[in-house]
Structure 1
């Protein structure tokens, strides 16, 4: 159990990587999430995204921040810190 007040916000820094997928039955290729890492600082998430984007087989990497409302569990839209390589469109 957490001692945080119900109205507290929690910030999550995420590094998420992508790999390319082959299109089914001749369809277009796409992307899927490969790995996801959580960090306590923006710099750590960005550094990991930069390293991961250089890894063989990695199509791209995002580092972003989301804010979680501890009371409701709702999560904000991602606020991108860095987007490297081939990443999905930002539909926000």
Structure 2
């Protein structure tokens, strides 16, 4: 069964950390790194559903397009697989 996020009781504390406004990297790169780190630490495990684009966009105060770019960057590494209209799932723990 997929490990899914549930608001304040979110089992994925990595999502709760704010982005670093002093970080010179683009926001999508920072979000992609958060997702990769969560997978590598085991906060998100193979088979888990990655929090949705809308939720992450609201949480970080960015557009859905920004989150979409972040998810695509992680998907390119093979750590997650995205299914349009369904979501993105963790496929493995290390790239």
TM superposition score category, shorter chain reference: 0.3 to 0.5
* Structure index of larger Rg: 1
More strand by share: 1
TM-score (norm 2): 0.35
